[in-house]
Structure 1
């Protein structure tokens, strides 16, 4: 009986839990979210002050969360709307809200800014996802020198 009460309370509260990646509806990205977003400088959401976080959001709503420091960990996902808000859900069923504050995208304890291109390693991870469309995580990308791959900040949209 208690389980039914809790289940009813969850349904009424508007909390939705995604339990199957394929059941989440991929949503096309609005212009304000699509593009390549990257951290700049040290961030508490990253393991090291030398680490870089990149989030790629395509027009179609595909995403790639790419973190790099001593290795690359890239997690493919998709954009969806959950309880009226845009979220990224990765293939490991981790759901992370996307909050745009001016030119800053707040995502998974990171502050990201739009850049012109991803790092070389994240570009390789993007290609690996295309070659392995069902992979939950890509971890076999070799690290080039991070200092040589810093992304160029995109010019603000007029």
Structure 2
């Protein structure tokens, strides 16, 4: 039983979940030519919320990105391409790190398979035009270990 717990903990620790504490400190790196362009899902995928949802990733030659997901509304997150542990990754403005893995004319990204297209969807083009209008996200607050519980016990005999 102990071996199973240790192996699971090691697998989770080594699974590539990188933490970037501050998006503004990420060094934007010009990506290789095969990553530059407009990428889009072409069929329903498990990584999307619905069969009708579309994911796009815009990667510029300077290393800027826009991760654009659309279904009932458009969610667009700007980001930066950089190198992390000898891999090309996209770091979005919420400091989420996702590997960029090109394979021929497809790109594996965030549990999705995208194909290169001539131009992004009209909705993503609009989001790209307004990306600098949005206020930057607030830094994630750190939780202090000395903080007291703020919730009352759910059961009558339970102590907080």
Structure-2-length-normalised TM-score:
0.73
Q: CA deviation at 1:34?
A: 0.4
1:70-149 paired onto structure 2 within 5 Å: 70-132=72-134, 134-136=135-137
Q: CA deviation at 1:101?
A: 1.2
Contact preservation (8 Å) 2:87, 2:99: yes
- Summarize the Cα distance change of 1:108–1:30 in structure 2 as closer, same or farther, 3 Å threshold: same
C-alpha RMSD of matched pairs (Å): 1.7
Which residue of 1 is the match for residue 25 of structure 2? 23
CA distance in 1, matches of 2:21, 2:115: 30
Question: 1:142 maps to what in 2?
Answer: none
> Which of 53, 58, 61 does residue 60 from structure 2 map onto?
58
1:156 matched to which residue of 2?
none
State the structure with more CA Rg.
2
* Cα distance between partner residues in 1 of 2:86 and 2:107: 17
SS at match of 1:129: coil
Deviation at 1:16, TM superposition (A): 5.5
Do the aligned partners of residues 111 and 16 (structure 1) sit closer, same or farther apart at CA in structure 2, a change above 3 Å counting?
A: closer
CA contact (8 A) 1:57 1:63 kept: yes
The separation in 1 between residues aligned to 2:51 and 2:88, in whole angstroms, is 28
CA contact (8 A) 1:16 1:83 kept: no
Distance 1:115 1:29 in 2: 18
Aligned residues: 123
Q: Any conservation in 2 of the 1:34–1:59 contact (CA below 8 Å)? A: yes
The verdict on how the C-alpha distance between 1:43 and 1:19 changes in structure 2, with shifts beyond 3 A counting, is same
Which structure has more helix as a fraction of its residues? 1
Unaligned segments of structure 1, at least 5 residues: 1-12, 137-158
CA contact (8 A) 1:129 1:135 kept: no
What are the superposed Cα offsets for residues 60-103 of structure 1, whole Å, 9 maximum, x if unpaired? Answer: 00000000000000000000100010000001010000111111
Of 42, 47, 50, the residue aligned with 1:48 is 50
2:35 match: 33
